[in-house]
Structure 1
Amino acid sequence: MDAVELARKLQEEATCSICLDYFTDPVMTTCGHNFCRECIRLTWEKAKGKKGRRKRRGTFPCPECRELSPQRNLRPNRLLTKVAEMARQHPGLQSRDLCKVHQEVLKLFCEDDQSPICVVCRESREHRAHRVVPVEEAVQEHKVGPGMRGCRGQ
C-alpha cells in the first residue's frame, strides 16, 4: 500500500458517514458503527417523529446497518477521536486537496478552466483537450507572473 492509498484509508476511517466530515466527538453504537455524537443525535431526533418504525421505546436504527440501538448506550470512541485529529492535521488529507468527484489527490492544474484537477479528471472528456500542467508548475508561474515567464532561467 503506497502513501497516497494509506492516507486515503486514514481519511476514510476518520470520516463520519452522516456528515461526511472528520469525526467530532465520535461515539459507537451497540452494533459497532461510529458517528459524530451530534450527527447521530440529530438523526435519531428525526426518527422520533416517524411513528411505527421502532419496535422498542428508546431504541433507534443504526444509519449503517439498521440494527436497533438504545440511545443511552452510545460509547465515546477516544481512539477514533485521536485518528480524526491526526487526519485533520495531515496536510495531504485536507478535503480541499482531494477531487470531489474521484477522491484523488489534486496533482494537476487545468489552465483552460483555471482549476486544480486529479489524474482521472485529466483523462475525462471535460479536460482531455485542455492545457494541463502539474500544480507545482502552475504555482511557480503564478508567483513569477505571466510577463516574467521568459526570465525564469536567468
Structure 2
Amino acid sequence: MSAAKRRRSEDQFLCSICLDVFTDPVSTSCGHNYCKTCITHHWDVNVPYMCPMCKKVFKKRPKLNINTFISEMVADFRREAQQKASSSSSEQQAAKPGEVPCDVCTGTKVKALKSCLVCLTSYCETHLEPHLTAPRLKKHQLFKPVENLEGRMCRQHDKPLELFCKTDQMYICVHCPVLEHRTHEFVPLKEEYERKKAELGKTEAEIQQMIQKRREKIEELKQSVRISKEGADREIAAGVQVFTALKESVGRGLIQLIKEIDEQQETTEQQAEGFITELEQEISELRKRSTEVEQLSHSEDHLHLLQSFSSLKAAAPTKDWTEVRVCPPSYEGTVVSAVAQVEETLSKQMKKLFEAELKRVQQFAVDVTLDPDTA
C-alpha cells in the first residue's frame, strides 16, 4: 500500500474534533462520525446542537449510540497500526547512549526524530507521522528531540515557557505576566534567544581573537627560542674557534719548550762526548807507553835499557784536563718564558674577540634603530 493510500485510510478513522483515532465512535443522523466523548462535550458547551462537519442544526439533542461497524473497523485499524509500529521499531536500531528515545515505542526504544512541546512527548519516525498528516497535530510545535520536556513547561500554570522576564532573568509562560510578573519587563523567548545568540556570536569572536593573540604569542616565543638558538650556536662556534686556537698555541708552546731543552741537552752531550773521546785516546796512548816501560824494566840488556830510557822518560804528549769541565745548562725560567709567550698569544686572541663582539653589538644597535620590529 502506498503512503498516500495509507494516510487516506488513517484519515477515515480520525475524529474531526480531537483529530485522533475514534474512541467509542458514534454517528449523527446526518451521517458524520465522532468520538462519543468529543461530540458530547461539544454539545455540552455549544447551543444550538449542530454537526461540526456539515453545520446541520438539530432541534433537540440527538440520542447517540455506538456505531459497532465503525468500532470494529477502528479496532482492526488499531491492531494493524500497532503491528506496523512494532515491525517498524524492530527494523530500526535502538536509541544509543546519549540519544533521546521515543516515548511511544514499547519494548525496544527507537531513537526519537522530533519532540513535541504541546504533547511533551518525543517521537520516532513511525510515531511522528500523525503530527505530519493530521491537520490539528500539524499546529503543534516540533523541534530537535530533547530530554526532560517537563522542564520546558511552567510548573505553576502547566504552559510552555514562551516568554523571558528581563526583570527576574527567568523564563515564564503566557499566564505569568498577568499574575506574578505583571509589572515586569518581558519579551518573547525568540527575541531573547536572538539577543543571546548575538551575544554568543560576539563572545565567539572575542574568544577567536584571544586564540589568535595566543597563537601569535606562541610564534613570538618560538621566534625568541630560534633567535636564542642561533645566538648560542654562533657563540659556541666562536668559542670553539678561540679555544681551538688557544689549544694549538699551547701545543706549539709546549713543542717549542721541549725543542729548546732538547737542543741544549744535545749540545751538552755532544761536548761531553768530544771530551770523552779525546780522553779515551790519551788513555790508550798511556797504556801503550806503560806496556813499553814495563817491558823495558824487565830487560837484562844493559845497553838497550840505557838507550831506550831517554825516549821513554820524556813526557807523553798529553793534555792538561785540570780546568776542563762540562757545565750543565740552566733550564730555570724556560717554562716561565714559554707560559709568558702563551699568555701573550691569549691576550691577543682576547683582544680580537672583544673587538668582534663590540662590532656585533654596534651593528645590533643600528638594526634596532632602523627596524625595531625586525630587531
Using structure 2 for the length normalisation, give the TM-score. Answer: 0.23
* Counterparts in 2 of 1:97 and 1:30: CA distance versus 1, 3 Å: same
Map of 1:130-149 to 2, 5 A cutoff? none
Question: Aligned equivalents of 1:78 and 1:17: distance in 2?
Answer: 19
Tell me the equivalent position of 2:12: 13
Counting helix residues as a fraction of each chain, which structure ranks higher?
Answer: 2
- The whole-number CA distance in structure 1 between the counterparts of 2:32 and 2:133 is 25
Per-residue deviation, 1:78: 1.1
In structure 1, the partner of 2:76 is 86
Aligned to 1:74: 64
Amino acid at match of 2:9: L
After TM superposition, list the pairs within 5 Å mapping 1:2-151 onto structure 2: 2-48=1-47, 54=48, 60-69=49-58, 70-89=60-79, 90-91=81-82, 92=84, 96-98=127-129, 100-102=131-133
Contact residue 16 and residue 22 of structure 1 kept, 8 A:
yes
Distance 1:85 1:63 in 2: 24
Give the SS at the match of 2:6: helix
Using the TM superposition, give the Cα deviation of residue 97 of structure 1 relative to its aligned residue in structure 2, in angstroms: 4.4
Secondary structure in 2 matching 1:35: strand
Name the CA distance, whole Å, in 1 between partners of 2:21 and 2:133: 18
Structure 2: distance between partners of 1:86 and 1:9: 16
Q: Distance in 1 between matches of 2:13 and 2:133?
A: 18
Does structure 2 retain, via aligned residues, the 8 Å contact 1:30–1:74?
A: no
Identity of matched residues, % = 28
CA distance in 2, matches of 1:19, 1:8: 17
Unaligned runs of 5+ in 2: 86-103, 105-125, 135-143, 147-375
Query: Looking at both structures, which has the greater relative contact order when contacts are Cα pairs under 8 Å and sequence separation is at least 6?
Result: 1
Q: Structure 1 74/102 Cα, relative in aligned 2: closer, same or farther at 3 Å?
A: closer
Rounded to whole Å, the distance in 1 between the matches of 2:132 and 2:54 is 25
1:88 Cα deviation from its structure 2 partner: 1.6
Q: For residues 32 and 99 of structure 1, do their structure 2 counterparts lie closer, same or farther at Cα, with a shift above 3 Å needed?
A: closer
Distance 1:14 1:41 in 2: 18
Tell me how far apart the structure 2 counterparts of residues 99 and 72 of structure 1 sit (CA, whole Å).
31
Residues 21 and 46 of structure 1: CA distance in aligned 2, closer, same or farther (over 3 Å): same
Aligned equivalents of 2:7, 2:32: Cα separation in 1: 19
Change beyond 3 A, Cα 1:42–1:102? closer
Aligned length: 95
* TM-score between the two structures when normalised by the length of structure 1: 0.52
- For each residue in 1:96-130, what CA deviation from the matched residue of structure 2 results, as whole angstroms up to 9, or x when unmatched? 14162356xxxxxxxxx569xxxxxxxxxxxxxxx
Deviation per CA, 1:65-84, whole angstroms, max 9, x where unpaired? Answer: 11023423323211111121
- What letter is aligned with 1:34? N
